[in-house]
Structure 1
Amino acid sequence: MIDPKQTHLTHMDLWISCKEHQDPQAKKQLIELYLPLVDFVANKMAVGLPKNVSKDDLFSYGVMGLIDAIDKFDPHRGLQFETYASWRIRGAMIDSLRQGDWVPRSVREKAKRLEEAYLKLEQQYLRSVTDQEICAFLKIDENEFQQMLQEIAVTTIFSLEDPLKEDESETRLSVLIDDKAKNPEYKVNEFYIKETLEKAIERLTEKERTVISLLYYEDLSLSEIAEVMSLSPSRISQLHSKAILRLRGALGKAKNQLLQND
C-alpha cells in the first residue's frame, strides 16, 4: 500500500492518470491511499457523539466525502490534498448526521436559549460574561447550567461547519483559510465575517481560546486537548460548548445581516 504520510505531489503520476486519463485504477489507488484520513476524521468526530451514532456510519459517510474530494481536487494548484480532503470528509459526515436529525428538540432549544443569553449579555457588557452572570440571567443555578452544557455538547461540534447561507457550501470557519479568488462582493462579506469571528474569539476566555485553537487549528481531539491542558474531557467539552455558543451567536447575527443585504 502507498504510504499515506507522503503528500499528493509524491504521487503526481497517480493524479495525472486519474485526472487527465480518467484511469479508474488510479482513482481506486488514491482512495485506498487516503482511507486512513477518513478513519482519523471519524475517530475525532466520534468523541462526544451519542451512542446511536456508530463510527462505521461515520466512516461510510466519510468515504463518500473522500471520493468527492478526489473528484474535485486540482493537484496542479499546489495545495495540500490532506487538508482539502479533511474538510470534504468532515462535511460529508456532518451532512449525513444533519439529515438524521438525531438531536432532540429539547436539546436544540436549550442550546438556542444559552446562545441568545451569551449574545445579549456580551453585547450589553462588551466582554466575556461569567457563568454566574449567565445563571442569573437565565434564573438557574450553576448545577443546572453545567447540566445544560453537557446536554448540548453534541450539538456544538458542527457549529463552525454550518454554511454561511442556506444554499451555499461555504462554512463559517472556512472563510479563515480559503485562499481562492472571490468577486468583490464576496470579499467584502468574507472580510466582515472574518472580522466578526476574530472579535468574538478575542472575547473568549483564555482556556476557551486554547480549546478552539487546539481543536480546529491543531486538529487535536477533545481527549488529547484534555491531556495537554491537564483537565478532564468533560471540562474540555464544557469549555468547547461555551466557546461555540458565543461564537455562534456572533456569527449568527453577522449571517442575518448579510442575508438582509442580499
Structure 2
Amino acid sequence: MTPRIPEPEPVRPAAATVGAAARAVPATSPGTVFSAPRPTRDVAVRARPTTIHPGAAPDGTVRDEEALVEAGIAEMWADYAATPDDREVRDRLLLHYAPLVKYVAGRVGTGLPSHVDVADLVQCGIFGLVDAIERFEPDRGRKFEVYAMQRIRGAILDELRSQDWVPRSVRSRAREIERAIERRETREQRSCSDSEIADELGMETTELRATYGQIAMTSVAALDELVAAGRSHASGAGSGAGAPSLADSLPDAGAEDPVAAMESRETRRLLADAIGGLGERDRKIVALYYFENLTLNEIGKVLGVTESRVCQLHTRAVLRLRGRLAEAHAE
C-alpha cells in the first residue's frame, strides 16, 4: 500500500494593493518542505518534496514581489483615474512616491547656501508631487517617476526664485562671468585680468566692473555666523562660548585707525621740536598765524613791521620747518 503524502497548507491569493501585498505572507514559513516517508518496494514511483514560497499562487507558481507591488500601484492609478476626486487614493499615491521629494530636495540643496533649510525645500516639493499626481496621464506610457521629479524640481526652483530679491538677470550674468573666468584661466594657466575676462565675454572693461558691483551687492551673510578660526576653536574647546562671529571681524568705519593715530602723534611731536628750534621772532609769527588765526597785517602791527616783512619771515619759517621735518623722517 502506498503511503499518503500530506498536502501543503493553502496559500492566500496575492493582494491587490501595496499595503495588502505587504501583509499577504502565508502562515507557513518560507522554505518549509513537505516530504513523505521512504516508500516500500511495492511503490513504483518515488514521491518528490514540495516547497512553498511566499507569494505563491494556489497552483504552485512563484510570483515576483516587485510584480506584486507594480500591480498594486497600477491598480491604484486605475482607481484614481476612475475617481479623480477620491482623496484617499491620491494620498496613498502621495505616500508611496514621497521619497522622491526628499531625493530631489537633497540634490537641489547641494548647490545652495548653507542657510537654506532642506526641510523647506521638501515642503515645496510636496506641492510639486501633488501637482504631478493630478496631471499625470498613465495612458501615455510615460514613467511617473521621471515626470514627477521634473515637477518637484520645478516647484522647488519656483519657490526659491519667488523668495530671491536679486533679479534673475544678475544671477545669470554672474554665472556667465564664472564660466568665462574658468575658460580663460584654463587656457592661459594663470589668473586673468579684468580686460582679458571682458574680452572673453565680448564686453568693455567698464561694463564688466559695473557688473561686478551689481554682483557684490547680492552677497548676503549672516552676522551671527562664526568665522572659521572661531569655529575650529569652538570645536576644540567643546563649546561655542566666546568664539568670534562674523560681526566681530567687520571693520568699524567710525573707529580710529591706530596706525594713523600713531603717525599723527609722531608728526605733531616732530613739528613741535622743529618749531622749538626756530628763532624767537619766527616762533611768534608761526604761533600768531596758525594758532591765533591772525592775518599778516595784524601780525605786522603786533611786531611793529610791515606786512611784506611779515610775509618774508613767515616764508622763511615754513621753509625751515619743512627742512627739519624732512631730516627727521630721513633719520
TM-score by length of 1: 0.42
Higher helix share: 1
Which one has the largest radius of gyration? Answer: 2
TM-score for the superposition, normalised by structure 2:
0.34
Higher relative contact order (CA 8 A, sep 6+): 1
